[in-house]
Amino acid sequence: MPDQPRNLFKKCLEYTDPQEARAQGFYPYFRRIDDTYGNYVICEGKRKIMIGSNNYLGLAQDDRVIEAACAAVRKYGAGCTGSRLLNGNISLHEQLEEELAHFLQREAVILFSTGFFANQGAITTLLEEGDAVLCDRENHASIIDGCMFSPGKLIPFKHNSATSLANRLKRLPAEAGKLVVMDAVFSMSGDIADLPPIVKAAKAAGAFLHIDEAHSLGVLGPKGRGVVHHFGLNDDVDIIMGTFSKSLGSMGGFVAGSTELINFLRHRSRCLIFTASLAPAVVGGVLKALQLLQEEPERIEQLWKNTHKMHEGFKSLGFQIGSTETPIVPILIGSEARAFQFSQRLYEEGVFATPAVYPAVRYGQAIVRTSYMATHTEEDLDQVLEIFERVARELGTFDDPAYSPSNLRKNVLDFSLSQQDGFQPFREDAGNTSSHGPELRPSSSRGCGEIPQT
């Protein structure tokens, strides 16, 4: 009897985590939002304070941004129906590229349809066989995928460690092209890349640098130009990548760099050439948001006031928030089951925030990821703190093993895969990095199966 081909759909039939979580009342993903006001949303007819969004400056709901998006639709239509290279290049795309290049003090910019594609497009197009890409272990999934799809060798280094990076670089052949890739702000832990020593280590080895400003554009640096500018390193970093899906309130991404680099990506990047260009509504809205970001610095000031209030507020209540220095505030919960339960109770009490569990974070150190906006009011934030405190007492969060003194000493919010600084084949454990997906595991493994019954 010849071997039967493997049934590709078997795993789908066996994948019942979401159903199990739903049956137990703790499914935290794909929550339907029926109406949104930025700092709060309406779900199932009830108002929830939104602390799970990257809309840092509240520009996604700004009337002027919405009107600019509508005006672009009226002028250019609902979509461009083709790639920039062929029929999908409208004047708004070029205007946005010019304005971004000016804002970031770079020679040129190229837009991509998502931030994910911007990372993937730049990394895969640039690297060749024999090159090496050095990747912080906590980098975003789009960077990791870009590295894995590129012909270069993927070499992980310890999170935010210039020493680890320098050690890796030292062991590479001198002639190998080298690219160091890093998030400027890490999207789970909220910590800021320690760029000055990282840049120094890279330069000493003749490596180029690609920095992802997804969570720092509009948040850090003069006028919100990002972490590279915050550290005064604009002349030392070769590639800046960013998204429009966070502070600029929309979707899409870009890469900024030299004229030659951008010209090369424009004609060679598959992530750009083989996909439709950004819709007019998106580009029109982002152009207005970029203008408002520069004209209304009080938004960034307010974002930081809110951020500091929440850092202090959570800490004074006894929550562990790791090493965050930004509006991304991860709240340590502990067991995966409790994190699901915690976010469900938050939701019932009127707070919208989602959990991040293993493998996005270390096993047993699940978090509720929270993030703040300039448009949150004092009242919103006080209410969030009050509800977190109440739910934590109800669920015994501070008694979780993650909160035991011995675990806290181990830096419980260290999201890295390994404390060791030895080489590891990254491909084998890439799934363990901060991939940010709704990581429910098969019901036979740890996770949803442990969700306690109420």
- Is the Cβ–Cβ distance between 85 and 222 less than 8 Å? no
Amino acid identity of residue 382, one-letter, is: D
**Residue 326 within binding range of ligand PLP, rule CB under 6 A:** no
Q: Which of 28, 121, 249, 253 binds ligand PLP (CB under 6 A)?
A: 253
Choices 207-215, 261-269, 353-361, 441-449 (CB under 6 A): range interacting with ligand PLP:
207-215
Provide the token pair at 394: 């109800």
Size of the site for ligand PLP (CB under 6 A): 15
Instruction: Supply the minimum distance, in Å, between the C-beta of residue 28 and ligand PLP.
Output: 17
Give 180 or 391: the residue with its C-beta nearer to ligand PLP: 180
Choices 211-219, 224-232, 391-399, 410-418 (CB under 6 A): range interacting with ligand PLP:
211-219
Instruction: Supply the minimum distance, in Å, between the C-beta of residue 242 and ligand PLP.
Output: 9
Cβ contacts of residue 129 below 8 Å, gap of 6+?
151, 152
**Residue 138 within binding range of ligand PLP, rule CB under 6 A:** no
Amino acid identity of residue 36, one-letter, is: T
**Residue 245 within binding range of ligand PLP, rule CB under 6 A:** yes
Instruction: Supply the minimum distance, in Å, between the C-beta of residue 434 and ligand PLP.
Output: 9
| Distance (Å) of CA 394 to CA 192, 385, 391, 398 | 33, 14, 5, 10
User: Which backbone phi and psi does 183 adopt, to 5 degrees?
Assistant: -70, 145
Instruction: Supply the minimum distance, in Å, between the C-beta of residue 161 and ligand PLP.
Output: 18
Give 49 or 241: the residue with its C-beta nearer to ligand PLP: 241
What is d(CA 284, CA 364) in angstroms, rounded to the nearest whole number? 44
User: Which backbone phi and psi does 13 adopt, to 5 degrees?
Assistant: -65, -35
Instruction: Supply the minimum distance, in Å, between the C-beta of residue 266 and ligand PLP.
Output: 19
Amino acid identity of residue 278, one-letter, is: L
Amino acid identity of residue 337, one-letter, is: A
Give 119 or 320: the residue with its C-beta nearer to ligand PLP: 119
Instruction: Supply the minimum distance, in Å, between the C-beta of residue 94 and ligand PLP.
Output: 20
- Is the Cβ–Cβ distance between 170 and 201 less than 8 Å? no
Closest residue by beta carbon to ligand PLP: 115
Q: Which of 191, 212, 336, 400 binds ligand PLP (CB under 6 A)?
A: 212
Give 118 or 374: the residue with its C-beta nearer to ligand PLP: 118
**β-pair partners for 178:** 132
Interface of this chain with ligand PLP, residues 74 to 133, rule: CB under 6 A: 114-116, 119
**Residue 214 within binding range of ligand PLP, rule CB under 6 A:** yes
- Is the Cβ–Cβ distance between 158 and 421 less than 8 Å? yes
**Residue 250 within binding range of ligand PLP, rule CB under 6 A:** no
Instruction: Supply the minimum distance, in Å, between the C-beta of residue 118 and ligand PLP.
Output: 7
Number of H helices, E strands in the chain: 17, 14
Binding marks (x or -) toward ligand PLP, 186..205, rule CB under 6 A?
-x------------------
Give 145 or 238: the residue with its C-beta nearer to ligand PLP: 145
Torsion angle in degrees (nearest 10) through CA of 270, 275, 278, 280: 140
Binding marks (x or -) toward ligand PLP, 167..186, rule CB under 6 A?
----------------x---
What is d(CA 56, CA 327) in angstroms, rounded to the nearest whole number? 8
Q: Which of 124, 150, 243, 433 binds ligand PLP (CB under 6 A)?
A: 243
Give the strand order in the sheet containing 239-243: 108-112, 253-257, 239-243, 208-212, 178-183, 132-136, 153-157
Catalytic residue list: 187, 215, 246
Instruction: Supply the minimum distance, in Å, between the C-beta of residue 263 and ligand PLP.
Output: 23
**Residue 330 within binding range of ligand PLP, rule CB under 6 A:** no
| DSSP-based three-state secondary structure for 319 | coil
Instruction: Supply the minimum distance, in Å, between the C-beta of residue 114 and ligand PLP.
Output: 4
Tell me the H-state helices in 269-351. Answer: 270-273, 280-295, 298-317, 336-349
Choices 209-217, 223-231, 273-281, 385-393 (CB under 6 A): range interacting with ligand PLP:
209-217
Q: Which of 48, 137, 140, 345 binds ligand PLP (CB under 6 A)?
A: 140
What is d(CA 290, CA 369) in angstroms, rounded to the nearest whole number? 26
**Residue 157 within binding range of ligand PLP, rule CB under 6 A:** no
**Residue 369 within binding range of ligand PLP, rule CB under 6 A:** no
| Distance (Å) of CA 359 to CA 51, 53, 172 | 22, 21, 29
Provide the token pair at 173: 């052949």
The sign one gets for the Cα dihedral 288, 292, 295, 300 is negative
Give 253 or 330: the residue with its C-beta nearer to ligand PLP: 253
User: Which backbone phi and psi does 246 adopt, to 5 degrees?
Assistant: -125, -100
**Residue 324 within binding range of ligand PLP, rule CB under 6 A:** no
Interface with ligand PLP by CB under 6 A: which residues?
114-116, 119, 140, 142, 183, 187, 212, 214-215, 243, 245, 251, 253
